[in-house]
Amino acid sequence: MFRRFLAVPALLAAWAAAAPPLTTIQDVLYKADGTRFNGTLTIAWNSFQAPDNSTIVTQSTTVKVTDGNLRVQLVPTIASTAASYTVTYHSDGHVQFQETWQVPTSGQPLHVRDVRVVLANPSDGSTAAGDTTGTTAVTESTVVGLIADLGARPVKGPSYAAGRTAVVDPTGMLSSASGNASDCVHVDGSSGPCGGTAPSFIDGDSPTGIVDGSNTTFGLSAVPDPVASLSVYRNGILQKAGLDYSLSGSTIQFTPESTPQPADTLLASYRSGTADAAVPAPYTSTQVLCSGAGASNAATTLAPIGSCNIPAGLLAAGDRIEIRFDLAHPGATSGFSFAVQWGATTLFTRTAGALDALVAGRADVSILPTGAQASWQSWGSALPFAAGVAAASDGYSTGLTLSFLGTDSAALGNFSVVRIP
């Protein structure tokens, strides 16, 4: 028994003497934001010969790094240039990166920078053996949340095409909007002509119904939209909604106290919501936009001698504007010029002589969905009759100014601008 107890320490000493030498790698690891790295390092190696000719078999080990502190002992690989360690860094639930270590024999602890290997690519452009820099494949399953995020993203549908507006179809896939290049895309993904139709203005509408002193119910040509746009006049006196009458659809119901009497005149003005450009307004009454006397201009260059400011939202496609004007230039010994300007577009310009004491002119402007087309004519005491047509691209939805221009003391005696819806 005594000899057996002496033999155990001897065997342990012989085993320790036979173990290959180890090099200690000890360091503090940080992230790029200055915080300490926490995670694990998986260190793997292929079979190689240790410096003492011990055989190191293929295996791996995992080292835990807490608060950046790393300490691991490894067999030196310097004895065989092909031997190396593949180190995989794990943190936050997935692989961070990989690098290669070659560990020399050292009696002192080494830092990671002392064992890290960065292999250059060969001159032929191929990847050098053991070069893991930028070449490590990361599988989708190792990235936390990637599979779910990819599944939640919209994908291209069968009607997707480059260079067109993308819309989400009923199945949640990305499709391309169809239609003409000049169309606008609606919020439901459909397309159509851009812009909306202007409201239809109805002025001077004569309500239907017998005016006999007892009838209180009268009808309008269309439904006022909005309701507040309705103005009802009885013998030229504005009636008050809720006090003199009530409105239901296109029906006016007068109160007993305000019942129209025989020989009373009823008129109404209102808007009827949006109007289709292809459908005429339900009631076509004229509306005087501007009228009056103008001024004169003594200069020899054209300058405004009268104008009519047409407010925004008044004109709509299908409307027509009739323009009339009269000029005077009595007792003059020289000629003069005059012109009519629609927005920034000059419809026509003419030059009259000294004998033209009186000049008259007119123009008709047709309002188009975009811009307008005009026809004109003018003549004078000696000025021969002339006519022509012109196109104007000026927008009218935000308002427009019609101007009369003159030179050399030409005076605008009278003008009128009438809208026919």
CATH code, 309: 2.60.120
The amino acid sitting at 224 is: P
What pLDDT score does 370 carry? 92
Q: Is 376 in a helix, a strand, or coil?
A: strand
Q: Is 349 in a helix, a strand, or coil?
A: strand
Q: Is the pTM of this model over 0.75?
A: no
For residues 298 and 234, membership in a common domain is answered with no
For residues 292 and 404, membership in a common domain is answered with yes
For residues 217 and 332, membership in a common domain is answered with no
Q: 391 in a domain, yes or no? A: yes
Domain stops at, among 252, 274, 296: 274
Q: 176 in a domain, yes or no? A: no
For residues 231 and 313, membership in a common domain is answered with no
For residues 335 and 241, membership in a common domain is answered with no
User: Which of 206, 355, 214, 344 is CA-nearest to residue 267?
Assistant: 206
Q: 215 in a domain, yes or no? A: yes
What pLDDT score does 126 carry? 46
For residue 114, report the phi and psi dihedrals to the nearest 5 degrees.
-80, -20
Q: 280 in a domain, yes or no? A: no
For residues 257 and 303, membership in a common domain is answered with no
Domain stops at, among 216, 246, 274: 274
For residues 298 and 342, membership in a common domain is answered with yes
CB 364 within 8 A of CB 380: no
Domain stops at, among 100, 123, 156: 156
For residues 26 and 142, membership in a common domain is answered with yes
For residues 44 and 123, membership in a common domain is answered with yes
Give CA–CA dist 420/321, Å, rounded. Answer: 6
- Determine the distance from the C-alpha atom of residue 125 to the mean position of all C-alpha atoms in its chain, rounded to a whole number: 46
Q: 174 in a domain, yes or no? A: no
Edge-to-edge strand ranges of the sheet holding 400-406: 303-310, 400-406, 336-342, 345-352
Q: 178 in a domain, yes or no? A: no
Q: 11 in a domain, yes or no? A: no
126 contacts: CB under 8 Å, gap ≥ 6: none
Q: What is the pLDDT along the chain (421 residues), one digit of tens a residue?
A: 555 555 555 555 555 556 889 999 999 999 999 999 999 999 999 998 888 888 899 999 999 999 999 999 999 987 555 789 999 999 988 888 899 999 998 989 999 999 998 765 544 544 444 444 444 566 777 777 888 888 788 888 888 888 788 888 888 888 888 877 777 888 877 877 776 555 678 888 889 888 999 999 999 988 998 888 999 999 989 999 999 999 999 999 999 999 999 989 899 999 886 554 444 444 456 788 899 899 999 999 999 999 999 888 778 888 899 999 999 998 878 899 999 999 999 999 999 999 999 999 999 999 999 999 999 999 999 999 999 999 999 999 888 999 999 999 999 999 999 988 7
Residue 412 structural domain: 287-420
What pLDDT score does 364 carry? 95
Give CA–CA dist 119/132, Å, rounded. Answer: 8
For residues 295 and 235, membership in a common domain is answered with no
Query: What is the total count of domains within the chain?
Result: 3
* Tokens of residue 132, six digits: 């893991």
For residues 373 and 411, membership in a common domain is answered with yes
**Which own/partner pairs from 226-230 qualify as long-range (CB within 8 Å, at least 24 positions apart)?**
226/271, 229/270, 229/271, 230/268, 230/269, 230/270
For residues 266 and 299, membership in a common domain is answered with no
What are the Cα distances from residue 79, in Å, to 50, 56, 168?
A: 6, 12, 63
The amino acid sitting at 197 is: T
Q: 193 in a domain, yes or no? A: no
Q: Is 295 in a helix, a strand, or coil?
A: coil
